[in-house]
Amino acid sequence: MDGLVLVNFELHEEIGEECDATQSASLMLYAGVPTAELQSMLAAVFGITQASSIAAIQVQPDGHIVPLSYLSARPDAFASVDKYQTLQLMIVRSPMDTLLAHRPDSSHASTSAKQASTVGDLIPGSRPSLQIQTVDLAGAGAARDALFELLVSLTAPPVPLVNAAEQIALRARIESDDREVNQWYNEYRADGDMLALVRRLIAAANNDLNSMPPPSLELTLARIWILKEMSLLTQEECLALQDLARDQDSLIATVFIIYGGADVDEGVLASKLLDAINKNQVVESDSERDRQRLLQFRLQIVRDLNDAELLDDAEAEFVEAAIASHRPFIEDAFAEFAVSGDSGRLARAITGELNSNEVGGDSDRIQSTDWLLSRLADTHGLSDHWVRSLKALIGNRDEVALAAIDLFNQDCDWNELIDTLDRLLAYRAGEQKTAAGRTPLNAVNNGTVRMLSSSERRHLCQLADDLLKENLVDDSHWASLKALILRKDPVIEAAYSLYSNVNDWNEFADTSLRLACRSHQGPAHVADSVSYTDVLYALVASGAVPADGARRIVQAADAQDDTVAGVVGQYQADGNRTKLSENLIQLAKSI
């Protein structure tokens, strides 16, 4: 089959002074196979109990060290038909082992143990790279510039020696001309021990990252919002960063640990946060590309099996759905196929599983439909709520929904399918109208509730501000609405979708006020539904508290200041938002 290449592997083990053993095996690999999957396959073939101990490969006869991630991405470069005949596995048997012991005696390797030529030589148990461009620090000029050059080398592809979080911590130390780092650099100038320098740098980075916990989510969101109010971030950047913070993104947390202190300029913090956005976009793009490559490869195998009549049409359709939903039996079948390369065996494994689950039955019909709806959401921008509503109908064996799916399987008309399902949702929602005759908010927009884009969410924030300016909501209700928008509440987004279609300002204002009031169910619930930072947002928006004052309050809260903690604790106990507002205004002046 296209895309598969045969690669030869070898494991050499020293048993005694005069005796050793070598195992050989060949695997069928495809571009984009996940590194963890490759480790598992090699461990299974060679009987290695801990797959993660397979750290890299050594190309014979040249002796180059190559990371598994590079082999995963480009197995064709190491196919058995090329000049490379075998790839020797490099094993790290314990955390204290180093790849230095496995370094090939090659003309490409450095003759000095202190001028390491491979990443594997630098750190015990590290992931090795193809080559690392060592920097002659002795002739590089100032310590700061030389250390920056070294940092670039340590973070260079294809496999960085330091991760993104460690890079942020090290860069902060170098930028501040850290005395300890400069001392290590001077010691390196004296003894030339690159290994010791790099170990110290990475240990220092991890010590910085572990020395203090990241701020709470509430404080992180507030700091980001205040940066926007200080015109250091745009609304879109603010929303993107808050989304990453809610997803517990490690880079955002690292930036706040390193640059979030009271003595750091807010402009620097904003700049570092924007750098984190860019890094995340690159990582997400690479990960998504790898996932799509793997998905398309497996779907092509299924099509090939179908063309070869090893799978019939119904079986192929079900397998495609199972691949997309990562069913365990599919993962196992393809893992075995990667080892054996036997397409007939793969087909038998799949059909055996399908027969045991009665393919073609109602449950499989629903399983296939679940996958189809997920595809619709991914390719046509439909919301999770839309998908969940239809899955509920299909789970209840709604004949209209199932008939629409069956028709689509015949004509493959995406637009007709979406239109039919939209009408069905609107009809079912109409059957459940409230006693007052209002259509539920989750049935707006002809039954389709789409996820809002960044520009739409920005417009929704502006509409909330307009409600406050026109005195249609007070400060506390405005704070509640902004909190709902930032949390991507599906009901407020549905209300916006309805407003976009019918342009009824009064209806939107009425709906927004009802949503804001819904969170005010008495003092016992106020502090749970509206945090003190939401109230602080409202005070900044109304001009009662300057953005810089809000920043000082949030930083003091992050530092567990007793005065701020007392104000917040009182609000959480009594829910008195008026008193909280007064206290926050005073804090902004005094803190």
335-365 tens-digit pLDDT: 777 666 777 778 877 766 554 443 344 444 4
Q: What pLDDT does 264 receive?
A: 66
- State yes or no: pLDDT of 425 exceeds 70: yes
- 121-130 pLDDT, tens digit per residue, is 333 333 333 2
- 62-110 pLDDT, tens digit per residue, is 666 666 766 776 677 676 544 445 777 766 543 323 333 333 333 333 3
Q: Distance from CA of residue 280 to its chain's centroid? A: 8
Q: How many residues does the chain have?
A: 591
Phi, psi angles (nearest 5°) of residue 78: -125, 20
118: DSSP letter:
S
- State yes or no: pLDDT of 28 exceeds 60: yes
The residue among 408 and 467 whose pLDDT is bigger is 467
Q: What pLDDT does 276 receive?
A: 76
Q: What pLDDT does 145 receive?
A: 67
The residue among 82 and 334 whose pLDDT is bigger is 334
Q: Which two tokens stand for residue 532?
A: 């003190």
Q: What pLDDT does 137 receive?
A: 36
- State yes or no: pLDDT of 251 exceeds 70: yes
Residue given tokens 């005796």 in the structure block: 19
The residue among 398 and 187 whose pLDDT is bigger is 187
**Which three-class secondary structure state does DSSP give residue 321?**
helix
114 touches 192 (CB < 8 A): yes
Q: What pLDDT does 290 receive?
A: 60
- State yes or no: pLDDT of 570 exceeds 60: yes
- What is the SS3 string spanning 529-580? HCCHHHHHHHHHHHCCCCHHHHHHHHHHHHCCCHHHHHHHHHHHHHCCHHHH
The residue among 114 and 508 whose pLDDT is bigger is 508
What pLDDT band is residue 208 in, cutting at 50, 70 and 90? confident
- State yes or no: pLDDT of 299 exceeds 80: yes
The residue among 322 and 223 whose pLDDT is bigger is 223
CA 549 – CA 589 distance, rounded (Å): 7
- State yes or no: pLDDT of 233 exceeds 80: yes
The residue among 496 and 211 whose pLDDT is bigger is 496
Amino acid at 33: V
- State yes or no: pLDDT of 49 exceeds 50: yes
Q: Which two tokens stand for residue 549?
A: 């004052």
CA 523 – CA 199 distance, rounded (Å): 55
CA 545 – CA 536 distance, rounded (Å): 8
Q: What pLDDT does 231 receive?
A: 80
The residue among 447 and 247 whose pLDDT is bigger is 247
* Mean pLDDT of all residues belonging to the chain: 67
Residues pairing with 13 in the sheet: 21
- State yes or no: pLDDT of 132 exceeds 60: no
The residue among 264 and 181 whose pLDDT is bigger is 181
Q: Distance from CA of residue 528 to its chain's centroid? A: 29
Q: Which two tokens stand for residue 317?
A: 């359709």
Q: What pLDDT does 144 receive?
A: 65
- Exposure letters 501-538 (e unless 16+ CB within 10 A, then b): eeeeeeebbebbbebbeebbeeeeebbebbbbbbbbbb
The residue among 194 and 504 whose pLDDT is bigger is 504
Q: For 249-275, what is the mean pLDDT?
A: 76
Give the Cβ contact number of residue 153 at 10 Å: 17
- Give the residue from 159, 106, 115 showing the smallest Cα distance to 134: 115
| pLDDT cut 90: percent of the chain above it | 0
- What is the SS3 string spanning 160-228? CCCCHHHHHHHHHHHHCCCHHHHHHHHHHHHHCCHHHHHHHHHHHHHHHHHCCCCCCHHHHHHHHHHHH
Q: For 559-565, what is the mean pLDDT?
A: 78
pTM of the model: 0.35
The residue among 48 and 444 whose pLDDT is bigger is 48
- State yes or no: pLDDT of 142 exceeds 50: yes
Domain with CATH 3.10.20 in the chain: 4-102
What pLDDT band is residue 411 in, cutting at 50, 70 and 90? low
- State yes or no: pLDDT of 163 exceeds 60: yes
Q: Supply the CATH classification number for the domain 4-102.
A: 3.10.20
CA 135 – CA 326 distance, rounded (Å): 45
What pLDDT band is residue 281 in, cutting at 50, 70 and 90? low
**Which three-class secondary structure state does DSSP give residue 334?**
helix
Q: For 543-551, what is the mean pLDDT?
A: 78
Residues pairing with 66 in the sheet: 57
- State yes or no: pLDDT of 13 exceeds 70: no
The residue among 286 and 251 whose pLDDT is bigger is 251
172 touches 165 (CB < 8 A): no
354 touches 318 (CB < 8 A): yes
Q: What pLDDT does 160 receive?
A: 54
Phi, psi angles (nearest 5°) of residue 177: 50, 50
- What residues contact residue 429 under an 8 Å CB cut-off, 6+ apart? 439, 440, 442, 443, 447
Look at 132-136, 199-203, 423-427 and tell me which has the smallest mean pLDDT: 132-136
Phi, psi angles (nearest 5°) of residue 62: -70, -35
What is the sign of the dihedral through the CA atoms of 260, 263, 264 and 267? positive
Q: For 356-381, what is the mean pLDDT?
A: 55
